[in-house]
Every structure is written in structure tokens, then in C-alpha cells.
A and B are shown apart, each in its own frame.
Chain A
Amino acid sequence: MRDATASDPADAVAASARLARLLKDYAPLPDTPDEMVGPDAKLRPLWGDFAAALARLTPEDVERRRARADQYLRDSGVFYRQYGGGQSVERAWPLSPIPVLIDEADWESLIPGLIQRAEVLEALMADLYGENRMVQGGHLPPALITANPEWLRPMVGIPPQSGHYLHFLAFEIGRGPDGQWWVLADRTQAPSGAGYALENRVATSRAFNELYAQGHVHRLAGFFRDFRDALLGMRQDRDARAAILTPGPLNETYYEHAYIARYLGINLVQGEDLAVENGRLMVRTVSGLSPVDVLWRRLDGSYADPVELNGASRLGTPGLVSALRAGGLTMVNALGSGILETRALMAFLPKLAPRLMGEALELPNIATWWCGGAAERRAVLGAPGRLLLSPALATGLPFDQAETILRASSLTAKELEYRLTTEGRGLVAQEAVTLSTTPALVDGRLAPRPMTLRVFLARTAGGWQVMPGGFARIGATPDPAAIAMQRGGSAADVWIVSPGEVPSVSLVPAPSGPYRRMGPGALPSRAADNLFWLGRYIERSEGSVRLLRARNVRLAEAGKAAAPILAAMTPLFEARGIDPEPGIPAGLLDTLSAAIGSAGQVRDRFSPDAWSALADLAKTARRMAQSVTPGDDAARALSALLRKLAGITGLVHENMYRFMGWRFLTMGRLHERAMGMSEILAVLADEKAAPGALDLAIELGDSVLTHRRRFTVSTNRDTVVDLLALDPSNPRSIRHQIEALGEQIRQLPGAMENGVLSPLAGVMLHCQTELATQTPETLTTAALWEFRAQVAALSPLIQEAYLR
């Protein structure tokens, strides 16, 4: 390896020369503290090893390492959603591969202030949804609460079942000119980013594996393990579950929801998966309703219940507030916690803290004035210099909403006075922040860029815990206002560096007591539904690819002479809604998109490898569709797609745990294949089918060799129907699908109760018996169509019994 540690004295001299050059090129901004270089223009000791290692790398090495991190992110399918122009698109995760290094002692000095802030917010939340002493005592203007859409009146007077309103928080912090940390924003509604922090960590440690391994960097797993244990610990009964509530795949951070759910081993649910029964929250599963005692919501509170909150919400669960009123579950965080993000509250927090907690705020927040007060208006008018005006009730980060921000100094004194007098109650003034800079890679070189840090706090059995790391946002330009990811900013990992060894931790808790294998919880119905359809779509894609390939091979080999056999295939394409003329038809792309759609709904239960293989397949097919011409070209392209499909089927079926989810996926595949093969035989084994149709059927059934081995004669209707319909040993035969499907259905919950078959199991058994008693003579074209209809009727029965 070229970038191995240098030990030779000559190399050491060269290395220090390169380090000097690296530092010479790195010019911190005037009057702005930099994380890597001190005010004396010297490298901070904390960064010594990292900078030295970087200096040893050639530009190509650096690029290779960046590529390694990006490769990891691409392979795992990390993305976020960008909105704009009425559309939203998935974007690759913009990682800045250089981590932000923070000294352990510096970090530890920050922790008490963070925890105190969490406690202050908890106390304020309890007051706002309880006695409202702060407003009553005149310490908080009534308008900030009563006009606030985040103050959810139905939640007033409902105490949290766990005794606490807040369980998981994030603070956006930045370092000011004097090197002190400031809070820029509080994230209390449903903070995102902790999962991305994990992904940033993995990707960054791929890029700088040896530095990470030797660099005494605090690990993140312990934080997540303790929070997971806390979530599970809040359950009232051991059989109930904890779940993560997501708005669904269209949300900008859905990837993270699925990732965290998979990482923690907790169910990911959407509002429609849940129901409230007798004051208790339940999840719909294939085995019926199953209780949920703890819900970590990643959904804004007002959307959570269409009956008592936002009636227009399609993401919520009717009765959720009622369940909370009945004390039926713990919500993380309590509904209504969004009010704590109100920007104007920052103006009051320093005065509220002593009243709520009996102590002053340790960690200052960004200086804020609420312009509803006369004294504050005078202060703003007196020194508008570096002040920014923005909406008082806004939540979220100022720099994510640049369009709502106005520089006070851009107005004339008269204009400013008018705005403050007429709309003062709706405005806050905040000091424009200076942020410290940290090194980022810009065109292959290090350059200082402004950064903010998102730190995460979780309430655990031992009290509030701060994640030893976090999520850094790095500006695209030296302007601190341009830090938003939607405006080109990027994300970076945060390394808390210890002078000594750090303990290694894993997500798995230390065993206590004898080993006990945990049964997987019942499968949510929506997940089962998506897996069933995923199985169907993948199989349908494979069937269509085989059909299209057979068509294009004949087109290439026989040209016009192929017309009769091509015409014979027409009903098969019609049944699939595919116009077979183009090389890669749109109908096939639609089926692949549908597969991606279903897989996207169950990313928490789907192997990341299978996901990227599927995404890759769809992308390849779309690309091919642009250029591939019918005939030989298409036949070859389709063969390539078929190989990729086989890879996916392998990844899915070989690697998936054989439980309920796998069962539904398998059922989808068997069901689709049984119908596909019935169609093929009904059309191609018909008495009047064109010459060559029987051979085509054998080819589509991937059974050419088997036929040759089993029957010494050439194909005739009897041999073909026997092999492709009735032979249970042929994995492509209808009989094989039906037997396997029957086996799966018998294993489903409620298939047989007190010796009585469920309606589904009954119809299934009928199908099996029917097929078992057929012979090639009795299985006529009409009988095949009839049988196909019987199989098709199974799908709605499965749907009815398990998937809604």
C-alpha cells in the first residue's frame, strides 16, 4: 500500500515537508475559529495524526478513499429526498469524507449543559401541557402559545404514561468566535439524523479505516443500545412491542427510519398499520391485532390522529389521542412537543430556566429578541446591525429556511420601525451567527468550511445520555448561511477523540441468564402485503423477460419466417399488458418499477444487497430501453436482465430468514408462476397452435434438457403438458407451484381451526386435488384457462384473510 505509515527517517522528513505544504495551502477565514488550525496558525494537536496521514496521501489516494466512502453509501442505498418544483427526488447522500474531530475533554465539558437544556425543555413541556404557570406568571407571552399551531390543545392535561414527555432530542450547535459552543436550534418534534450519523460513521471509517481503528474514537453503538433498551423497557407488558412510526417512503428521511428500525431490530410501521382498540394501540398483523406499547414517532404530531388533530391527515391513526388519554401507550416524544422548537421561545428560555429548574442556563443559545415586546423592539431598532428577522413561530433551523429571513440592516430605519410596530408579535430578531470552520475536501484539497453540529440525547435507564458523536453539516461555501443540504451543503461524521483507548461496544447486550431464542414478532399486514406483491412482481418480470427473449431470438434467427410463431405468442403478451414491439418494452419497466415500489415499503425487512441489486436491475433496464433494438440486440440484453433477476431471486430467497415475511414473498412468487405457466400452456399447447409452439413452451419453462432426458421422443402435447403442468418434480410445473403454495398456506395463522379449514385453505386444497387428478388428456385448453381462474381467485382470499 502506498499510503502505509512511513517509518524511514528520510520518509519522515518528506512527510513533514508535505504536512507543512498542506497547512500552507489551508487558510482559515479571518476572525473565524477553525477546528483544525489554532489562532496561532499552528495545527491543533488533536488533528496531528489525521493531518499527517492526510499529508502522506497523493491526490489519487484521497480520491480513492473518497470513492470508497461513496461506494459504501451507494451500495447501502443511502439517500435523502429533495423537494422542489412540485416534485421530490431521491438524492445520493452528500458525504464530506473528512470527519470533524473533537477533543474528548472539550466534549465532556459540553455534556452537562446539553443535559440541563433537555431537562429545562422537559419542564417547559410539562408546564405548557399542564398548569401553564409560565404564562400565568407573565414570564411567557400568551400569544406565543395560543397562536401556535404546534400547541396541540387536545393534548393539554394528558400526562405522559411513562412520566416523561421527552425521550429523544437533538440540538443544533455551533462554535462562536470565542470558541464557545452555542445552541442554534432545538429539535424536539421528531429529530432526524441519528441514523444518518451511523451511516456517516460507517462510510467515513471505510475511507480512513486505519485512522479510525487507531484513533481512539468513541463508538456510537452503546448509545443506541441503551436507547433501544429504554424503548423496550417502557412497555407495560412483555408481549407488547415497541415500534417506529414513519410517514412512509415519500418522506425526506424515510431511508433513515428504515435504517434505524433495522439497526435496532424494532418494527417500522405506518399510520394505517395501526388501530386503536379499547384504548390500546394495536398493529395489524397477519395473526390479527397485536399490542404496541411504545411508539417512537418520526411523524409530526399534528398528523398523528385525523379524528382529534389534523383532520386532513392521511398519515395518522384514528384514535391515537384517545389511546394516549386512556394511558394506553408511551409516545416518543409526546404529541405536541413540536412547540418547543418555536424560534421565539429562545428569547425566553434564559429567563425561564431559573424559574423551571432553579438554575441558570449553562449553554447559551443564539441571542434572540421577540419583537412583540416594546423593550425588545427598541433594542432591535437601536442596533439592527447584525440582526436577522424571521417568523416568531417558525420551527426548524433558520438556515434551512433562508427565504423567510430578512436582514434588519437591509431596511431603512423607518421601514424597520413600521414592520416592528405592525407585525412585531410575529417576528423575532436573531444575531447572525459566525460558525467555526472545519476542513472539507474541495477539488481534492482541504479548505475551511463553516460547520454546525447536531448532537443527540436519549433518555435511558441511567438518565439522559449524549451520543458520543453526531452529525455535522458542512457549508458548500465559506458563507455560513449556505449550510443547508438542500443548498449544496454536505454531511460529515463527528469523531470524539480520547487520549486513551476507548471501550468497544456492540448493540448486543451482555447476556444475562440462560440463552433464550426470541421468536420474531407477528408480521404487520402491510409488510406482508408488500412482500407478497414483491414476490409476484419479481416473478412476473422474470416471466416477461423470458417471453420477450424467446420472441427476439426468433425474430433474429428466422426473420419473416417467424411470423406464425410470433403471432401465436400475442395472447401471452396481451395477458401481461405488454406491447412486445420495442426491444425493452415499457410494460416490463412498469413491472420493475412496481417491484421497486413494493420493496421500498419494506426496506426495514429487506436485505440491503437485494435492494441494491433490484435498484440496479431497474436502472439497467431503463437504460437499455433507450438504445436496444429488437432482434439479436434485445435478445442479448434480455439475457443479461435474466441473469440479474436470477441474482436477486438468489439473494432474496437464500438470505431471508424463513419466517412469515419470507412465506408471503414465496407465496407471491408461486402464485404468479402458477398463473404464468397455466397461460403459457393454454396458449401454446392448444391443438391449433402454430408449429414450434410446444418447443417454445418448453423453452419458456426452462425445461428443454429435462424434456430431452425424460422423453426420448420429440415434443408432443402429452409430454409437454405432463412435464410443465403435472410433474411435481419439475420446479417450473404448475403442480410444483400449487403443492408448494398449499404447503405455505397450511402454515399460515388460522389456516385450520378446530379441524376446520379456513376459506382460503379450503379453496387451496380444492385446487391441489383438482390438479392431482388431471391427465394430459383431461387438461385441455379450456381446463387450463379454468384452472388459471381458480388460482387467480386465491389472491383476493389471501388479501382478505391476512393483508388488511
Chain B
Amino acid sequence: MQYDLRLMIRYEFDRPTGAGRQQLRIQPAQMPPQQSLLSCEITLTPEPAERRDFTDFFGTRVLEVVMPPGLKRIEIAMKARVVRLSLVQELDISPPLARLRAELEEVTEIGAASPHHFLWPSPRIPADAAIAAFARKAVEGAETTRAAIGALGNALHDFMTFDAKATEVDTPPAVAFALKRGVCQDFAQIMIAGLRSLGIPAAYVGGFLRTLPPPGKSRLEGADAMHAWVRAWAGAEAGWIDHDPTNACFVDTDHIAVGHGRDYSDVAPVTGALRMDGGQKGSHSVDLVEFPPVVASPAPPPRPAPRAGG
């Protein structure tokens, strides 16, 4: 499947800013074969004073910009073309949970793809006893690691209510869990805390999600979203498996990944330091459209519209 992806981020400031350094993690990942980036263009308005890019530890492309001082508005526009293939494994080749640790100990590599980074508490995902207890219960009876991953994701989906107003970007997972409410970031971070408590290495993935319109309705501009989900390690052979607890599904061709890390702080789309003494407003919109546009295709298979929201 080939997509045209557009992202637009706008900031407005009450008072002109001082000079500021920003790092943008918004370029879709190059992850052949399931995801290939054909082109990507990022434009900032106004033009940054400095601009360079690099690949961070976990393999995410980072665009670093220094904005000139005195701005009241910044616009970041990203345009990309991405090919996404469905590579969901039909066969569950993951080991039973009890054997995962032994497989993990065989891995002595600690590069970006190593599971070893994702077993420990991380800055935004500390260990939590309540989540651990929930996770233990949710995976009872799961025969394989993959089954356990799916079971926990589904259990969380049933337990939590999607609510864009209940939490903030820095709400700790334990708080969202106690509220039983949150957005994709909360779902993902709670699931990661649960998986880690079970000894399953789990990473946080940032990216985009296509939102299909309800049958018979046409697609709305900007209806797609920035999104977050979970990448869990299911043993040496099965490797990494992406699961989206917000939508209770293993990830397929509707998800476009930007990158992964230990938690949100490793893949936040915009980080940086801007000297400000006043309020700011931000907004963003995402469009993820199949290319070439699908003309007169058969009606999409009936399935619930995925929920998104980072």
C-alpha cells in the first residue's frame, strides 16, 4: 500500500520568542520491508537560522533546527510518500513466556534493535505494582509470548476508556491507569509497564494512524492522527511485534512508524528549548491518504473505525 502523508504543526506565541533550538522527530522510519520511505520533505516557516539532521541512538531521523528570535508563529510542514506492506505473521513462533528470559540472555548485542534497552523502568515509565498485577492476571493462560502481548493489549482496551480530556502529555502511566482513562500515549505506556513487569521487552512507538471514515461517508481533511503504540519483543525468532492497545489490534498497514524508544521522551515529535515569557498555543493536523487514490474500490471490509490521538 502506498500513502501520501502530510503533517502540519503550528505554534503561536503571545510574545515574541528568544532564539530556540528544536529537535523534530517526524520523518517516517525506513524499515524495509514492511515500511519504505520514498520521499520526505520538511519545511519550516519562517526559515530556521540553522538546520541539520542526524540519526539518533534508536535509529530515528532527527531534524535539528535553531529558530531565529522574535517569532510569534512557527509552522512545520512534513510531506512524505511511504510504502507499507502487510507482514503480520500468520504463525505464532514465539516461545512460552517462561522461556523468554533464556532467549533474552542469549542476546549480547545492545544496538538500537536490542531488546535489552526495553526491560527496565525508563524516565516516563516507572515500575508500578498495580499495573504489574493487572498484567499478570491478563496473561493467565496465554501459551506464548505473542499471545500474552495480545491478551494484555486487549485486556487494557477493555479496561480503559478513550478520553482525550482526562490526561496530559506528562501524566504518569500509574495515574492514567487509576483513572481508567486516557489517549493512545497512556494506553501504550501502561501496556509497556505491564509487559516489562512480565519480563517482556517493550518499546514505545511514535507515528501516524490512518482513520477510515465510516462506511458510506467521505474522508475528512486532517482526520488522521499522530499516534502511539507498543513494540514488544517476542523471542529470538518472532522478534519485534507491534501492538496497538488503543485499538486492540496487532499493527498492520494503517500505522506508519516514525521511531521507537524507551518511552515518549525518546520519540517526542518536537523537543527543545525556546526562550519564552508568555503563553503558547499549538495545533496539528495529519492526512494519510492512499496513493494513487483508490477509485471505485469495493466497499472496505466492515470493521470498527480505529481510534487515535497521541
Partners in one complex: yes
Decide if B109 is an interface residue (CB 8 Å cutoff): yes
Closest chain B residue, CB of each to CB of A322:
B64
Q: Which of A139-147, A404-412, A604-612 contacts B (4 or more CB under 8 A)?
A: A139-147
Decide if A136 is an interface residue (CB 8 Å cutoff): yes
Contact-residue bracket for chain B: 20 to 34
Decide if A519 is an interface residue (CB 8 Å cutoff): no
- Using known A-B contacts A276-B21, A311-B271, determine if residue A142 contacts B54 with beta carbons closer than 8 Å: no
Closest chain B residue, CB of each to CB of A326:
B52
Give the Cβ gap from B79 to chain A, nearest Cβ, in Å.
25
Closest chain A residue, CB of each to CB of B18:
A804
Decide if B225 is an interface residue (CB 8 Å cutoff): no
Whether B108 lies near A147 (C-beta < 8 A) is no
Set of chain A residues within 8 Å of B271, measured between Cβ atoms: 307, 311
- Interface flags for A524-535 (1: CB within 8 Å of B; 0: not) read 000000000000
In the bound assembly, the distance between CA atoms of A147 and B115 in angstroms comes to 12
Beyond the given A146-B119, A153-B56, A156-B57, could you list 9 further A-B residue pairs with CB under 8 A, ordered by the A residue number? A135-B109, A136-B109, A142-B107, A143-B120, A146-B120, A277-B50, A278-B50, A279-B52, A318-B272
Whether B273 lies near A306 (C-beta < 8 A) is yes
Whether A135 lies near B23 (C-beta < 8 A) is no
Whether A137 lies near B21 (C-beta < 8 A) is no
8 A-B pairs with least C-beta separation: A153-B57, A318-B273, A142-B116, A147-B120, A146-B116, A318-B21, A146-B117, A319-B21
Whether B54 lies near A325 (C-beta < 8 A) is yes
Whether A143 lies near B116 (C-beta < 8 A) is yes
In the bound assembly, the distance between CA atoms of A325 and B21 in angstroms comes to 15
Give the Cβ gap from A169 to chain B, nearest Cβ, in Å.
25
Set of chain B residues within 8 Å of A277, measured between Cβ atoms: 50
Residue from the set B110, B271, B273 with the largest chain A CB neighbour count within 10 Å: B110
Whether B108 lies near A142 (C-beta < 8 A) is yes
Set of chain A residues within 8 Å of B57, measured between Cβ atoms: 153-154, 156-157
Decide if A132 is an interface residue (CB 8 Å cutoff): yes
- Interface flags for A291-319 (1: CB within 8 Å of B; 0: not) read 00000000000000011100100000011
Interface of chain B residues 96 through 147 with chain A (CB within 8 A): 107-111, 114, 116-117, 119-120
Decide if A138 is an interface residue (CB 8 Å cutoff): yes
Decide if B34 is an interface residue (CB 8 Å cutoff): no
In the bound assembly, the distance between CA atoms of A381 and B29 in angstroms comes to 48
Decide if B265 is an interface residue (CB 8 Å cutoff): yes
Whether A142 lies near B110 (C-beta < 8 A) is yes
Set of chain B residues within 8 Å of A311, measured between Cβ atoms: 265, 271
- Interface flags for A146-167 (1: CB within 8 Å of B; 0: not) read 1100000110110000000000
In the bound assembly, the distance between CA atoms of A311 and B56 in angstroms comes to 16
In the assembled complex, 29 residue pairs joining A and B whose CB atoms fall closer than 8 Å, in A order, are A132-B110, A132-B111, A135-B109, A136-B108, A136-B110, A137-B108, A138-B108, A142-B114, A142-B116, A143-B120, A145-B110, A146-B120, A147-B119, A147-B120, A153-B56, A153-B57, A154-B56, A157-B57, A276-B21, A277-B50, A306-B273, A307-B271, A307-B272, A308-B23, A311-B265, A311-B271, A322-B21, A322-B52, A326-B52
Set of chain B residues within 8 Å of A278, measured between Cβ atoms: 50
Whether A307 lies near B116 (C-beta < 8 A) is no
Give the Cβ gap from A796 to chain B, nearest Cβ, in Å.
15
Give the Cβ gap from A318 to chain B, nearest Cβ, in Å.
4
Closest chain A residue, CB of each to CB of B272:
A307
Set of chain B residues within 8 Å of A137, measured between Cβ atoms: 108
Whether B272 lies near A135 (C-beta < 8 A) is no
Set of chain B residues within 8 Å of A307, measured between Cβ atoms: 21, 23, 271-273
Whether A135 lies near B119 (C-beta < 8 A) is no
Set of chain A residues within 8 Å of B119, measured between Cβ atoms: 143, 146-147
In the bound assembly, the distance between CA atoms of A322 and B23 in angstroms comes to 10
Set of chain A residues within 8 Å of B110, measured between Cβ atoms: 132, 135-136, 142, 145-146
In the bound assembly, the distance between CA atoms of A164 and B11 in angstroms comes to 42
Closest chain B residue, CB of each to CB of A157:
B57
Give the Cβ gap from B170 to chain A, nearest Cβ, in Å.
10
Set of chain A residues within 8 Å of B116, measured between Cβ atoms: 142-143, 145-146
Set of chain A residues within 8 Å of B23, measured between Cβ atoms: 307-308
In the bound assembly, the distance between CA atoms of A147 and B64 in angstroms comes to 27
In the bound assembly, the distance between CA atoms of A516 and B170 in angstroms comes to 57
Residue from the set B66, B107, B265 with the largest chain A CB neighbour count within 10 Å: B66
Set of chain B residues within 8 Å of A145, measured between Cβ atoms: 110, 116
In the bound assembly, the distance between CA atoms of A278 and B52 in angstroms comes to 10
Interface of chain A residues 230 through 289 with chain B (CB within 8 A): 276-279
- Interface flags for A113-152 (1: CB within 8 Å of B; 0: not) read 0000000000000000000100111100011011100000
Set of chain A residues within 8 Å of B66, measured between Cβ atoms: 319
Set of chain A residues within 8 Å of B107, measured between Cβ atoms: 142
Give the Cβ gap from B51 to chain A, nearest Cβ, in Å.
11
Residue from the set A138, A311, A318 with the largest chain B CB neighbour count within 10 Å: A318
Set of chain A residues within 8 Å of B58, measured between Cβ atoms: 153
In the bound assembly, the distance between CA atoms of A137 and B54 in angstroms comes to 29
Set of chain B residues within 8 Å of A319, measured between Cβ atoms: 21, 66
Set of chain A residues within 8 Å of B120, measured between Cβ atoms: 143, 146-147
Residue from the set A277, A279, A308 with the largest chain B CB neighbour count within 10 Å: A308
Interface of chain A residues 201 through 240 with chain B (CB within 8 A): none
Set of chain A residues within 8 Å of B20, measured between Cβ atoms: 318
Set of chain B residues within 8 Å of A276, measured between Cβ atoms: 21
In the bound assembly, the distance between CA atoms of A154 and B55 in angstroms comes to 10
Give the Cβ gap from B106 to chain A, nearest Cβ, in Å.
10
Set of chain B residues within 8 Å of A156, measured between Cβ atoms: 57
In the bound assembly, the distance between CA atoms of A322 and B50 in angstroms comes to 12
Give the Cβ gap from B263 to chain A, nearest Cβ, in Å.
12
Closest chain B residue, CB of each to CB of A156:
B57
Set of chain A residues within 8 Å of B109, measured between Cβ atoms: 132, 135-136
- Interface flags for A563-579 (1: CB within 8 Å of B; 0: not) read 00000000000000000
In the bound assembly, the distance between CA atoms of A146 and B203 in angstroms comes to 13
Set of chain B residues within 8 Å of A326, measured between Cβ atoms: 52
Whether A146 lies near B114 (C-beta < 8 A) is yes
Interface of chain B residues 239 through 290 with chain A (CB within 8 A): 265, 271-273
Closest chain B residue, CB of each to CB of A151:
B110
Give the Cβ gap from B195 to chain A, nearest Cβ, in Å.
16
Give the Cβ gap from B264 to chain A, nearest Cβ, in Å.
11
Closest chain B residue, CB of each to CB of A137:
B108
In the bound assembly, the distance between CA atoms of A276 and B20 in angstroms comes to 11
- Interface flags for B155-173 (1: CB within 8 Å of A; 0: not) read 0000000000000000000
Closest chain B residue, CB of each to CB of A131:
B111
Closest chain B residue, CB of each to CB of A316:
B273
Give the Cβ gap from B154 to chain A, nearest Cβ, in Å.
29
Closest chain A residue, CB of each to CB of B54:
A325
Give the Cβ gap from A638 to chain B, nearest Cβ, in Å.
41
In the bound assembly, the distance between CA atoms of A157 and B58 in angstroms comes to 12
In the bound assembly, the distance between CA atoms of A146 and B120 in angstroms comes to 8
In the bound assembly, the distance between CA atoms of A138 and B120 in angstroms comes to 20
Give the Cβ gap from B216 to chain A, nearest Cβ, in Å.
46
Give the Cβ gap from A86 to chain B, nearest Cβ, in Å.
23
- Interface flags for B43-57 (1: CB within 8 Å of A; 0: not) read 000000010101011
Give the Cβ gap from B4 to chain A, nearest Cβ, in Å.
31
Give the Cβ gap from A126 to chain B, nearest Cβ, in Å.
15
Set of chain B residues within 8 Å of A143, measured between Cβ atoms: 116, 119-120
Set of chain A residues within 8 Å of B52, measured between Cβ atoms: 279, 322, 326
In the bound assembly, the distance between CA atoms of A276 and B260 in angstroms comes to 28
In the bound assembly, the distance between CA atoms of A559 and B279 in angstroms comes to 56
Give the Cβ gap from B92 to chain A, nearest Cβ, in Å.
26
Closest chain A residue, CB of each to CB of B57:
A153
Closest chain B residue, CB of each to CB of A147:
B120
Give the Cβ gap from A278 to chain B, nearest Cβ, in Å.
6
In the bound assembly, the distance between CA atoms of A326 and B116 in angstroms comes to 29
Give the Cβ gap from A312 to chain B, nearest Cβ, in Å.
9
Give the Cβ gap from B202 to chain A, nearest Cβ, in Å.
14
Set of chain B residues within 8 Å of A146, measured between Cβ atoms: 110, 114, 116-117, 119-120
Residue from the set B20, B23, B114, B116 with the largest chain A CB neighbour count within 10 Å: B116
In the bound assembly, the distance between CA atoms of A308 and B56 in angstroms comes to 10
Set of chain B residues within 8 Å of A142, measured between Cβ atoms: 107-108, 110, 114, 116
